[in-house]
Amino acid sequence: MTADFVLQPALARFTVGDSTVQGITGTVFGMWDDAGRRVASGGQWGERPTGERFLLQERDRTYILNIDFPFRSPSPELRTISLDLSKALSAPGVPALPVIKFTPAKWKHGYT
């Protein structure tokens, strides 16, 4: 993609059944140097807060982003779990992301 995406964790919506909550905080996982800059090597792995707005402008990097929601972990067997990032992850001129709906599935891989 050529657009600069922006993550705004507070605009994310997590729904289980009839209950919907908004994101409260966001973090980005990566390798960081002592000055707090993201580096490809020579730093320490960890999470850093995204703040209210986090610009994803480095197109050659993979971002591992987390959004925390004030909700207990739902049963993975529920069919009513969805995540709406349409307003939380956006870029100018790019259509809104569709709602992500989770479906239970049998685990096909080992646990090791």
Query: What SS3 class is residue 21?
Result: strand
Per-residue pLDDT tens digits of the chain, which is 112 residues long: 567 899 999 999 999 999 999 999 999 999 999 998 888 889 999 999 999 999 998 877 889 999 999 999 898 889 999 999 999 999 988 999 999 999 888 777 766 5
Token pair belonging to 47: 């999470």
Where along the chain do its domains lie?
A: 5-102
Q: How far apart are the first and last CA of the chain?
A: 35
Token pair belonging to 49: 């807060």
Q: What pLDDT, on the 0 to 100 scale, is given for residue 107?
A: 72
Count of residues making up the chain = 112
Q: What's this model's pTM, rounded to 2 decimal places?
A: 0.83
- What is the four-CA torsion angle of 110, 46, 88, 23, rounded to 10 degrees? 80
Token pair belonging to 1: 């993609």
